Structure 1
Amino acid sequence: MKENLPLTLLHQIAITLIPGVGDVLAKNLISYCGSVEDVFKAKKSHLLKIPGVGEKVASAVVNFNGFNRAEQEIVFIEKHNVKPLFYLEKGYPIRLKQIEDAPVLLYYLGEGDLNNSKIVGVVGTRKASEYGKACVDNLVEQLAETGCLILSGLAYGIDIHAHRNALKLNLPTVGVLAHGFDRIYPSQHSATAKKMIETGGLLTEFMSGSNPERENFPKRNRIVAGLCDVLVVVETADKGGAMITAELANGYNKDVAAFPGRVNDEYSKGCNKLIKSNKATLITNVDDLYYLMGWNNTRPKPKVQQTLPLDLSQADLEIYSFIKNKTKAGIDEIAYALQIDSGNLSLQLLEMEFKGLIRTLPGKYYELT
């Protein structure tokens, strides 16, 4: 092992290289072992007691010999000023911390705030029509006043159109990649990607040398779905990457919006299908998006002294106090601040709503009654 290399980062990269260990299992290993370094120090007998770890995985951990590759990646990221973001560390995106299968380790190039107060994902077909481009033009232009971050996948069509519009309007925009930082795919978007790094950025879970393989794109899509507050599907067929991203966003309890299209248009079938199946809210302009997300809910409310029930748990009191101090708060924000699992938090919030303590606002925000 080379001298002067950061050992913690070395192990953070190494755990992503263990055969048979995905993001969920990696987090489980770290949780049971105590730290990422201790995973590699654990005895096989101890590893076999960890849920989800069988003979094959335990052997892969104790016999791991990929530290040289991890060392090479450290040299690469230091040379190119890439920021590694580990899921237990401060710089990791708050919204992704709540996603069970979010990457253990991300690589980031750029200056944009991945914890921007408003993140809008924009996705759609690679074969964007003039109608689809016009929807993106209007949406991004009207979002400019919010200072939100525009998130997409740097692909042809809707993705690149959203990124370029954001750059034109000085909005931060981040592209999530399905490959490592030693290339840009498609290469025609390299100039745009370079500009994005200045005020936004590029994000990937893939090490240098990783090709844009077919199986990488659904993995890329889950980051887009998990990182945004709302996913806007502009134009898509009834199958494809945008539809996968919408399904993932629904599974992550994110808001999904879609622009409707003509019933016979091939690349409006997906949007119409999402709307028809109640998997997306129909929007035609940014006001619809504001309403969905509660971003225009600025009317002052009269302050009323709330009488709390005596049977509130300590967890309920912590949630109540947090929302009270913030006036209104989103579910991801509450979960991160109070370190509560998002599934359990949803149940607690529902119980508090039944007790008349809080009410739900559009966009999965909550306020006191």
Structure 2
Amino acid sequence: MSENSLYEVALTFLPNVGTQLTRLLVSYCGSPKEVFAAPPGKLLKIPGIGDKLVRNITDNARHALLEAEQVVKQAEAQEVKLLFYTSPDYPNRLKQIADAPVLLYFRGSGNLNQKRIISIVGTRKPTAYGQAVTERIVEGLKSYNVLVVSGLAYGVDIISHRAALQAGLPTVGVMASGPDIVYPAVHRKYAEKMLEQGGLLTEGTFGTKPDAPRFPARNRIIAGMSDCTIVVEAAFKSGTLITADIAHSYDKEVMAVPGNINSPVSEGTNHLIKSLKAAVYTSPQDLIELLNWDLEEEAAAKKAAAAPAFDPADFTADELKVLMVLQQTREEHMDNLSWKAQLSVSLLASVLLGLEFKGMVKALPGKRFMLIG
């Protein structure tokens, strides 16, 4: 059992200590463990922390730690990753949002910080048009290796997950239940496939039931961890529009698929477009241009073309370390090169001399070295 995980989880079991207070306490104390170890006098010096909250922490600390111990054991038994907001595996896009959960439960193999992440949401009762468009959207993401995020619900959600699985794209289902409860249960077979090609994510602890109020909270995670939220079909008053509104409030990109003006499930998407809360999605090119993926690809191609080509077989392991650093930065001071390549200065001097003889590196004034080519 990880001691860090124990105290991280325990913080979430302290009553009346929400997201903002948790971050404040950890920031001032240094770590979750130090929050529990801090004497009342130290806690009282933290801005916004009063006697009532200090008593709340000290009175409930033992019980919170006992609860956390059970959760950590259950997580280990069920291969659930506990992602505190300070974890490098915690979704970085979500971390920037003020009301992001401080702890997430994740089952699966997906990278929650993948370069490109798109969420797709919509009605639970899509039309044939809505289903076809959803599948086409996912197919259009295939060449960009996008992580597809949705809510595992009926309709557009599960169509998105299924299409991603078929396209070979990673896909993550954000749930309103605990990590041990797949809802709806009929989607369990897809959920199990997603564990190998993405995963399941939730802020609810083990045993958490998918009660109605948890779905809007779930939606903020879907919106917050994505680069753009695409709404396929949605009624004028629906949970899907809540997700779009949340994404909009986070200054995230929102796109909506225009629909039949006579269809109730197109009222929401058409309203988003009309009210300028969403850009129009008609083809993959719309998304690519909105997020500047085309410019990114072009810049990457130029960088690759400019990078000198060399055969790794012609160089030693230490020489390759230096070349890899210089390939990124083109030019470095010897001291910086030493720690970036993880080579001692004395060894680096010998390596650089060898690379100079091979015509790969040029020495510059001031102990600087430049990659040739």
| Aligned match of 1:125 | 123
What's the offset of the Cα at 1:174?
0.4
What's the offset of the Cα at 1:299?
4.7
Instruction: Select the residue among 240, 258, 267 that pairs with 2:238.
Output: 240
Given that residues 42 and 62 in structure 1 are in contact (C-alpha distance below 8 angstroms), is that contact kept between their aligned partners in structure 2? no
Aligned partners of 1:94 and 1:194: how far apart in 2? Answer: 25
| Aligned match of 1:58 | 54
| Aligned match of 1:152 | 150
Given that residues 11 and 64 in structure 2 are in contact (C-alpha distance below 8 angstroms), is that contact kept between their aligned partners in structure 1? no
Counterpart of 1:202 in 2: which secondary structure?
Answer: strand
| Aligned match of 2:40 | 44
| Aligned match of 1:339 | none
Aligned partners of 2:52 and 2:150: how far apart in 1? Answer: 37
What's the offset of the Cα at 1:233?
0.6
Instruction: Select the residue among 238, 245, 250 that pairs with 2:248.
Output: 250
Instruction: Select the residue among 205, 209, 212 that pairs with 2:210.
Output: 212
| Aligned match of 1:20 | 16
| Aligned match of 1:364 | none
Aligned AA for 1:67? Answer: L
Give per-residue Cα distances to partners, 1:234-291, cap 9 Å, x unaligned.
1111222211111111121111100011223211111111111111101111111111
Matched, 1:222 2:259: no
| Aligned match of 2:181 | 183
Aligned partners of 2:29 and 2:268: how far apart in 1? Answer: 44
Aligned partners of 2:188 and 2:47: how far apart in 1? Answer: 43
Cα RMSD for the two superposed structures: 1.9
* TM-score for both structures, normalised by structure 2: 0.77
Give the structure with the higher percent helix.
2
Instruction: Select the residue among 266, 269, 274 that pairs with 2:267.
Output: 269
| Aligned match of 1:104 | 102
Counterpart of 1:63 in 2: which secondary structure?
Answer: helix
Matched, 1:169 2:163: no
Decide which structure has the larger Cα Rg and report it.
2
* TM-score for both structures, normalised by structure 1: 0.78
| Aligned match of 1:141 | 139
What's the offset of the Cα at 1:206?
1.1
Aligned partners of 1:188 and 1:302: how far apart in 2? Answer: 47
Change (3 A) 1:277 1:42: same
Given that residues 106 and 179 in structure 2 are in contact (C-alpha distance below 8 angstroms), is that contact kept between their aligned partners in structure 1? no
Aligned partners of 2:277 and 2:142: how far apart in 1? Answer: 26
| Aligned match of 1:366 | none
Aligned partners of 1:150 and 1:184: how far apart in 2? Answer: 18
Aligned AA for 2:202? Answer: T
What's the offset of the Cα at 1:141?
1.0
Change (3 A) 1:269 1:49: farther
Aligned partners of 1:226 and 1:264: how far apart in 2? Answer: 32
Given that residues 123 and 234 in structure 1 are in contact (C-alpha distance below 8 angstroms), is that contact kept between their aligned partners in structure 2? yes
Aligned AA for 1:22? Answer: G
Aligned AA for 1:184? Answer: V
Counterpart of 2:293 in 1: which secondary structure?
Answer: coil
Counterpart of 1:66 in 2: which secondary structure?
Answer: helix
| Aligned match of 2:77 | 79
Change (3 A) 1:52 1:157: farther
Counterpart of 2:82 in 1: which secondary structure?
Answer: strand
Change (3 A) 1:132 1:55: farther
Aligned AA for 1:23? Answer: T
Structure 1, gaps ≥5 residues long: 304-324, 327-369
Aligned AA for 1:173? Answer: T
What's the offset of the Cα at 1:49?
3.8
Q: Percent identity?
A: 47
Aligned partners of 2:55 and 2:253: how far apart in 1? Answer: 41
Change (3 A) 1:80 1:37: same
Matched, 1:295 2:293: yes
What's the offset of the Cα at 1:35?
1.2
Change (3 A) 1:212 1:52: farther
